[in-house]
Each structure stands twice: as structure tokens, then as C-alpha cells.
């Protein structure tokens, strides 16, 4: 798995500041959890557990206390309820300003599964207990990390994935508290979890880094974009976050809001395939970004699509989002984001493209060249651009591959995540010639390669390399 080449702890500084509970008083952070929180199997848990590392990262303005107790459950009827521990009582008595709750792994054990129907109510009760404190703490629910254990009676990953995580997200949505997806950080990385359950030092460092970014991001708690949007809105949960569905100019649109927006109101604009491989979107929501979507399928980035997006952008910026968006395009979404960015360079902060189509003659042109049955997308492309015949369409030069001069004038950084074995959107017809042209024109492009991978899956199970890149680019621009 590819690792990020960007420094871990140089992120979000331009959006950040230390917070103090009062004159001369540090912010008290209470870390509740089981063995991973306690630092089990680490050589020096008092310094290498993720709460200990988080305390060092946050610095003197914070007092981080580890209340972790091995083997404990969130369930009151579990085999070892956290509720019954002295550490739980001590955490309440400390009247913390911030509470991190990392409980759920042990609840996936066979002995505890019979009580999982009570998991959400028990979680609600714990949140209520801390919310009632005079300190009125900020509460964050940490989604349990992946388990590599094969014994189905123990901490079993299918139960974590299929039952525990959805319940944690639902609790966060119902109680409107924050979520941090620690689960994604170690997926596909069994080497960082030697016993299958407890992360070693590199794993706990990654956890601490993620929590630091979330906690140290300056927030504008008064900003509520969804409430500003006109017309009727249908509210639902997007992985625990409030999502508004609405119609704008006859098109289906979505806006997902973080629990509290980052200062400056940054946002990422997904072009296509809503909810597919959403790891990056979720990670940015944790850090205070909004995630937005305006369905212009299937217009293939033509003038109508650009005009619709111009209006959508104007709506969002008018109601408070930053003047520049991070554009996100998977597969054919690459056409959408780059064609819009080429005529709106001043509105783009950065581009993240994932196995993107950069030449419509490559795809869906392949449907015509290979004489595939149906050829639905090829026919839609011809209609969108006014071509009456196949031969006329084959002369099309309106794809991003032929707009490099306009694209690089925007001076926005570009990231392509590229599956080197992609046979659907071949790299040598799309990203690779685009990269060559961009570099020759003095543009700023980074390509993260995925050797041996086909078109699917997009992204990475752990989106850290992508998220790090985005945050570093915004930091560089702010400087």
C-alpha cells in the first residue's frame, strides 16, 4: 500500500489555534476506551499510546488524560462494562472540556453480541452523562479500528463493520456529536497490528495524528450552511453527518455538513458517483469541510453542465462557503471537474482526480471503437455535444487532455490517483499524456500510482495520503 510522502504534522496550521478553557487553565481532554486506548502491548504505553501522543501534539494548552481500561464494553450488559470502572467515574468527575469515546471493539465478541440491540441506547446514555456536566464538553465518538482476528467468537471484524460502525454513526447523527473514523486508518495494514487487535507504534501514531488534526482545527460553530439553503430539503444521515437533499435548477443536489465548519468554510465538490468510496469525503468532514454534489449526469462536462455548476457554485458561495473549492472527480467525473475548472480557474483550490477520464475519445469512445453493444454512453456523448455521426464525434477536442493550457493557467495543484493496470480508462490514453502536457506547461501535478490495480476500487481504504495532500496544498496556498 502506498504511503504518503507528505510530513505528518504540518497540516491545517493555517486553520488552527490552541483553545483554552479559561485564563491559565488548559483544555482537559478525557480519553475513554478499552485496551487500544490504554496502550496494550506497547512497550511504553505511558508515552506511546495514542492519548499520550495526542497530548504531546496538542501541547501545553491541553491536558490529555488516558482513562482506558482493557477488555471493557460500551454495553451495560457486556462481560466487562466500562460503566462499572473507577476510570469512568473519574472521567466524569474531571469535568473535561473534550471527551473522546473509543468503545465498541469488545462489544463485537460473541458473548456480547446478544445485547447489541441495546448498544445505541447505552451510547446515548453515556453521551447524555457527559453532556450534563457543567463543562458541557465537546464529544467525539471514535469508530473502532479494524480487527484481523480469525476467531469468530472474539473481536470479529464483520460484526464491527456490519453492526458496530453503523450504530456508532447513527448515534452520532441522532445526538449531533462528532465522529472520527479510526477504523479506516488500519484497513489492509495487518503488519501494524501484530496480534490482530492492538496497533503497534506506527498505528497509534497514525491515530494520534488524525485526532490532532480534528481537534486542532479552528471551527466556526455559528456557521450552518444547510439552514441557509432555499426551498424544501430532505435531511438524512451521510455516515453520521447531516445531509440535505434538494432540487436546484431542476437538478438533484446534496450538501453534507460537518458537525462544525472549519474556519474559512472549506469544501470539496464531488462531481459524480455520490457515496462511492467516500473515505476522503468522510475524513474531510471530520476536519470541518463541507461535501457537496450537483447531479449533471449524463452531460459529460458540456456547456450545459458548466452553466448548471456555475449557478450551483454561486448559490453555495453566496451562502458562505469559501471562494475556492477542492474538486473531486472519479472516473468520468474527471471530465466534469476539469472542464468546469478550465473556465473557472479562480474558483478552484485544488483538484483530486481518481482514475479519471481525460479524453472522451478514450472512454466512452472505446464503446464505438470496440463495437460494444448498446454504446449508451457513446450515444449520450454525441447527443450532448451535438454530433450527428460517429465520424464527426471522432474529431472532438473538448476533453481536458486538449485544454491543458487553460488548466495550468489556474495554478491550482492537481492530484491523480492512478491504477496502473486500468483497462477501462487506460492510463496511457488519459492521465499519463495529461501529466506530460501539464509538466511541460509548468503546471503542478502529483500522480500517486497503484501498481497492479484495475479501474476499481477507487481511492485507498485509508485515505490518509489523499487527505494529507489536500491539506498540505491548502496550507501552501494560504502561505
Q: Over the stretch 98-149, which tens digit does the pLDDT of each residue have?
A: 999 999 999 999 999 999 999 999 999 999 999 999 999 999 999 999 999 9
Report long-range pairs for 112-118 (Cβ below 8 Å, ≥24 apart): 112/73, 112/75, 112/77, 112/78, 112/79, 113/159, 113/163, 115/75, 115/77, 115/78, 116/75, 116/163, 116/164, 116/167, 118/75, 118/76, 118/77
Residues 286 and 411 in one domain: yes
Number of domains making up the chain: 2
Q: 355 and 209 in one domain?
A: no
How many helices (H) and strands (E) in the chain?
Answer: 19, 16
Question: Do 165 and 195 belong to one domain?
Answer: yes
Q: Residue 35's domain spans which residues?
A: 17-216
Determine which helix (DSSP H) or strand (DSSP E) holds 325, and give its type and residue range.
strand 325-330
Kindly state whether residue 201 falls inside one of the protein's structural domains: yes
Residue 366 has pLDDT above 70, yes or no: yes
| Joined grid coordinates for residue 102 | 473509543
Among 164, 191, 216, residue at a domain's last position: 216
In this structure, the answer to whether residues 177 and 322 fall within a common structural domain is: no
Tens of pLDDT, residues 161-170: 999 999 999 9
pLDDT value for 479? 55
Nearest to 31 by CA among 13, 17, 41, 46: 46
CA-based Rg of the chain, rounded to a whole angstrom? 24
Q: What is the largest CA-CA distance in the chain?
A: 77
Q: Which CATH number is 114's domain given? A: 3.40.50.1110
Determine the angle formed by the axes of helices 279-286 and 201-215, rounding to 10 degrees: 60
Measuring CA to CA, how many Å separate 134 from each of 21, 119, 137, 219, 405? 12, 26, 8, 22, 58
Q: Is residue 474 part of a domain?
A: yes
User: What is residue 9's predicted lDDT score, i.e. its pLDDT?
Assistant: 30
Say whether both 161 and 63 belong to one domain: yes
Which stretches of 70-156 are DSSP H helices? 86-93, 110-113, 119-131
Question: Which residues, other chains included, contact 6 with Cβ-Cβ below 8 Å and sequence gap of 6+?
Answer: 465, 468, 469, 472
pLDDT in tens, 68-86: 999 999 999 999 999 999 9
371 pLDDT band, cuts 50/70/90, is confident
Which percentage of the chain shows pLDDT scores above 90? 92
What's the burial of 354, exposed, middle or buried (CB within 10 Å: 0-12/13-18/19+)?
buried
Please give the model's pTM, rounded to 2 decimal places. 0.93
Among 216, 249, 282, the domain boundary falls at: 216
Check which CATH number belongs to the domain holding 353 and give it: 3.40.50.1820
How would you class 114 by CB atoms within 10 Å of its CB: exposed for 0-12, middle for 13-18, buried for 19 or more? Answer: exposed
Q: What is the mean pLDDT of residues 226-237?
A: 96
Amino acid at each position: 500500500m502506498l504511503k504518503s510522502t507528505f510530513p505528518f504534522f504540518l497540516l491545517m496550521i493555517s486553520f488552527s489555534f490552541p483553545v483554552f478553557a479559561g485564563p491559565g487553565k488548559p483544555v482537559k481532554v478525557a480519553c475513554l476506551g478499552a485496551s487500544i486506548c490504554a496502550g496494550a502491548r506497547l512497550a511504553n504505553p505511558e508515552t506511546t499510546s495514542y492519548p499520550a501522543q495526542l497530548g504531546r501534539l496538542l501541547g501545553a494548552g491541553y491536558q490529555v488524560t488516558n482513562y482506558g481500561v482493557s477488555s471493557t464494553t460500551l454495553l451495560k450488559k457486556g462481560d466487562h462494562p466500562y460503566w462499572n470502572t473507577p476510570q469512568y467515574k473519574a472521567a466524569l468527575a474531571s469535568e473535561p472540556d473534550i471527551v473522546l469515546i473509543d468503545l465498541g471493539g469488545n462489544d463485537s465478541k460473541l458473548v456480547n453480541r446478544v445485547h447489541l440491540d441495546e448498544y445505541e441506547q447505552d451510547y446515548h446514555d453515556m453521551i447524555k452523562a457527559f453532556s450534563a456536566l457543567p463543562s458541557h464538553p465537546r464529544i467525539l465518538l471514535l469508530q473502532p479500528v479494524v480487527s484481523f482476528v480469525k476467531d469468530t467468537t472474539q473481536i470479529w471484524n464483520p460484526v464491527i463493520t456490519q453492526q458496530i460502525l453503523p450504530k456508532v454513526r447513527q448515534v452520532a447523527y441522532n445526538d449531533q456529536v462528532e465522529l472520527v473514523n479510526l477504523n479506516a486508518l488500519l484497513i489492509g495494514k495487518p503488519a501494524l497490528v501484530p496480534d490482530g487487535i492492538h496497533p503497534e507504534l506506527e498505528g497509534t501514531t497514525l491515530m494520534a495524528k488524525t485526532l490532532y488534526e480534528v481537534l486542532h482545527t479552528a471551527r466556526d460553530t455559528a456557521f450552518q450552511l444547510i439552514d441557509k439553503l432555499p426551498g424544501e430539503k430532505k435531511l438524512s444521515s451521510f455516515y453520521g453527518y447531516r445531509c440535505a437533499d434538494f432540487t436546484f435548477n431542476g437538478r438533484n443536489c446534496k450538501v453534507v455538513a460537518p458537525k462544525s465548519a472549519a474556519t474559512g468554510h472549506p469544501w470539496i465538490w464531488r462531481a459524480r458517483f455520490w457515496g462511492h468510496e467516500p473515505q476522503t469525503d468522510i475524513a474531510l468532514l471530520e476536519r470541518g469541510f463541507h461535501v457537496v454534489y450537483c447531479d449533471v449526469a449524463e452531460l459529460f462536462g458540456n456547456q450545459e453542465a458548466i452553466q448548471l455548476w456555475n449557478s450551483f457554485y454561486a448559490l453555495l458561495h453566496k451562502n458562505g462557503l469559501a471562494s475556492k473549492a477542492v474538486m473531486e472527480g472519479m472516473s468520468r467525473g474527471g471530465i466534469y471537474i476539469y472542464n468546469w475548472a478550465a473556465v473557472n480557474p479562480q474558483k478552484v483550490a485544488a483538484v483530486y482526480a481518481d482514475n479519471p477520464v481525460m479524453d472522451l475519445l478514450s472512454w466512452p469512445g472505446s464503446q464505438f471503437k470496440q463495437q460494444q453493444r448498446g454504446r449508451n454512453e457513446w450515444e449520450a456523448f454525441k447527443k450532448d455535444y451535438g454530433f450527428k455521426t460517429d465520424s464527426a464525434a471522432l474529431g472532438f477536442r473538448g476533453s481536458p487532455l486538449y485544454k491543458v493550457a487553460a488548466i495550468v493557467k489556474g495554478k491550482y495543484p492537481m492530484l491523480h490517483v492512478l491504477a496502473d493496470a486500468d483497462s477501462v480508462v487506460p492510463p496511457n490514453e488519459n492521465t499519463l499524456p495529461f501529466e506530460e502536457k501539464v509538466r511541460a506547461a509548468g503546471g503542478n501535478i502529483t500522480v500517486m500510482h497503484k501498481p497492479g490495480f484495475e479501474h476499481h476500487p477507487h481511492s485507498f481504504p485509508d485515505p490518509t495520503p489523499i487527505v494529507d495532500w489536500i491539506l498540505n496544498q491548502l496550507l501552501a496556498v494560504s502561505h
